[in-house]
Amino acid sequence: MAFESLTDKLQNVFRNLRGKGRLTESDVKTAMKEVKMALLEADVNFKVVKQFIKAVQERAIGADVMNGLNPGQMVIKIVNDELIKLMGSETTEIALRPGNEVTVIMMVGLQGAGKTTTTAKIAGKLKEKGRKPLLAACDVYRPAAITQLQLNGEKQGVEVFSMGDKQKPVDIAKAAIEHAKKNNFNVVILDTAGRLHIDEDMMQELTDIKDAIQVDQTILVVDAMTGQDAVNVSESFHEKVGIDGVVLTKLDGDTRGGAALSIKAISGKPILYVGMGEKLSDLEQFYPDRMASRILGMGDVMSLIEKAESSIDQEKAKEMEQKFKKAQFGFDDYLESMNQMKKMGGIGNVLSMFPGMSGKMQDIEGAIDEKDLARKEAIIYSMTPKERTNPDLINPSRKARIAKGAGLPIIEVNRFIKQFDQARKMMKQVPGMMGKKSRKHGGF
């Protein structure tokens, strides 16, 4: 997970400040030296680090401590504010033309950055928003690029326009736009060719496309794992081709994460999305404020809530809410809620977004025994359908039968059923806790 070691280091710095009743100038300076080291080690561009530290220091020394905060917390607040500023403050959406007018998006980037994958991921996001995207295979050089786009398009349920690898990318782009207009598509995403390094031919080809057709948005895909290089690549592409925004891929694999903090400051262009894995669903909108609180180890409750909202089937949630209200929650529903949890990426993933949890993930993964969940599943599967919907039926002899079926000691069956009963009692007392309203407003 990105930023793990940066988060650890920053938390150490803040821990030392927290104990202090008053902060002297030298306390702030010492802390800032450590923050500076931590940022450099996270591969944040040194110019960015310098400016950042200067801004924080100026504000922290001589700042009036706000009501309700101690001086250490005040420094955290200032660091948080400045991190958000650094990453661009606002969330930037891909600008789309209204209604059925065709928006043309050109995806650019070096080979291996994740451009083809991201093209399909973005198509999926646009589809979710009710758009009708068409992908255009303009990478005619990399062997298999067209097939890869077609396979990904198929997985996303999005049509791919291709003319093989013998035509010029400009002509393919023009033909794709014509095809889109005739067939009611309202977004065309051009998957262009990358090269291993910045290269004049590639830049020329992209400029030719931009000269020949009206490209509305040029989106650069860069690999977070390349750290400073990702930042340099953004700067070059912006100078030569002109970009509107950046998608930072492989943030799941990069433990340093410096690129996320430097791109906006250096290239002037915002990060639109971050790639968090190889699956086509692993693309997250970029929120500077949430990223800042993730970096500071304050968790990311907002992202968690959103993830929950998109993964949980709203119909099922409603159905469950009704059951909660009437206290009809049975074991089948328990299984269903475990499945929802799995859809959200497993317990480890969900917990890492809670405040104070990041950095301690190894301990947590160990403590939460996924095998224990499997045993609970085995217990439920050994119940009859009637027992599952009506847990009150389960008497001692039924428990013995269930334990035998699950191949587990009866004590474990007893423990689980007791926990389940307690949870049911709690639900009765909190009706409406799965209600839409409470989730929308962050009432977790």
CA-CA distance, 39 to 62, in Å (whole number)?
23
Q: Name the minimum Å distance from CB 277 to ligand GDP.
A: 5
**Sign of the dihedral defined by the CA atoms of residues 369, 374, 377, 378, in that order:** negative
Residue 250 makes contact with ligand GDP by CB under 6 A: yes
Query: Which SS3 state, helix, strand or coil, does residue 42 take?
Result: coil
Q: Residue 117 interacts with ligand GDP (CB under 6 A)? A: yes
Q: 115 vs 376, which CB is nearer to ligand GDP?
A: 115
110 is in an annotated binding site: yes
Residue 428's nearest CA partner among 347, 339, 323 is 323
Query: x/- string (CB under 6 A) for ligand GDP, residues 261-290?
Result: --------------xxxx---x--------
- CB closer to ligand GDP out of 118 and 217: 118
Of the candidate residues 109, 153, 227, 288, the single one contacting ligand GDP (CB under 6 A): 109
Which residue, 159 or 223, is less far from ligand GDP as judged by CB? 223
Does 249 contact ligand GDP by CB under 6 A? yes
Minimum CB separation from ligand GDP for residue 371, in Å?
Answer: 26
Q: How far apart are CA 217 and CA 428, in angstroms?
A: 51
Contact present, 222 and 249 (Cβ < 8 Å):
yes
Are the beta carbons of 166 and 79 closer than 8 angstroms?
no
Strand-pair partners of 136 = 161, 190
362 is in an annotated binding site: no
Q: Is 195 assigned a ligand-binding role in the annotation?
A: yes
Instruction: State yes or no: 193 annotated in a binding site.
Output: yes
Q: 124 or 275, CB closer to ligand GDP? A: 275
Per CB under 6 A, the segment of 2-10, 244-252, 286-294, 301-309 that binds ligand GDP is: 244-252
Contact between 176 and 136 under an 8 Å Cβ cutoff? The reply is yes
Q: Which is nearer to ligand GDP, 91 or 111 (CB)?
A: 111
Q: Which residue lies nearer to ligand GDP by CB, 180 or 247?
A: 247
Give yes or no for a contact between 176 and 188, defined as CB atoms under 8 angstroms apart. Answer: yes
Q: Which of 112, 268, 385, 442 contacts ligand GDP by CB under 6 A?
A: 112
At closest approach, how far in Å is the CB of 306 from ligand GDP?
18
* 194 near ligand GDP, rule: CB under 6 A: yes
Judged by beta carbon, residue 232 or residue 384, the one nearer ligand GDP is 232
Measured CA to CA, the distance from residue 147 to residue 149 in angstroms comes to 5
Is residue 253 annotated as involved in ligand binding? no
Instruction: State the minimum distance, in angstroms, from the CB of residue 114 to ligand GDP.
Output: 3
C-beta of residue 142 within 8 angstroms of C-beta of residue 111: yes
* 191 assigned to a ligand binding site: yes
Pick from 24, 54, 25: nearest CA to 39: 54
Q: C-alpha angle with apex 29: 25 to 35, nearest 5 degrees?
A: 145
Residue number with CB closer to ligand GDP (13 or 123): 123
- Tell which one of 165, 252, 289, 306 touches ligand GDP (CB under 6 A): 252
- Residue 285 sits at φ, ψ, to 5 deg, of -60, 145
If the CB atoms of residues 348 and 391 are measured against ligand GDP, the closer one turns out to be: 348
Residues 30, 111, 232, 337: which binds ligand GDP (CB under 6 A)?
111
What are φ and ψ of residue 255, in 5° steps?
A: -80, -15
Shortest distance, position 282 Cβ to ligand GDP, whole Å? 6
> How many residues sit in the footprint of ligand GDP (CB under 6 A)?
18
Please say which residue, 4 or 333, places its beta carbon nearer to ligand GDP: 4
Report the first-to-last Cα separation within the chain, whole angstroms: 24
For residues 94 and 91, what is the distance between their CA atoms, to the nearest angstrom?
A: 10
Beta-strand pair 159-161/187-191: unpaired
- DSSP, residue by residue, 263-324: HHHHHS--EEEEE-SSSTT-EEE--HHHHHHHHTT---HHHHHHHHHHHS-HHHHHHHHHHH
Question: Does 115 participate in binding ligand GDP (rule CB under 6 A)?
Answer: yes
How many Cβ atoms are within 10 Å of 326's Cβ, its own excluded? 10
251 carries a ligand binding annotation: yes
- Cα separation, 435 vs 312, in Å, equals 13
* 113 is an interface residue for ligand GDP by CB under 6 A: yes
114 is annotated as contributing to ligand binding: yes
Residue nearest to ligand GDP (CB): 275
Choose one: 70-78, 111-119, 370-378, 411-419; the region binding ligand GDP (CB under 6 A). 111-119
User: Is residue 253 at the binding interface for ligand GDP, with CB under 6 A as the rule?
Assistant: yes
Instruction: Answer yes or no: are the C-beta atoms of 189 and 134 closer than 8 Å.
Output: yes
Residues lying near ligand GDP in the complex (CB under 6 A) are found at 109, 111-117, 194, 249-250, 252-253, 275-278, 282
Known binding positions: 109-116, 191-195, 249-252
Known binding positions for GTP: 109-116, 191-195, 249-252
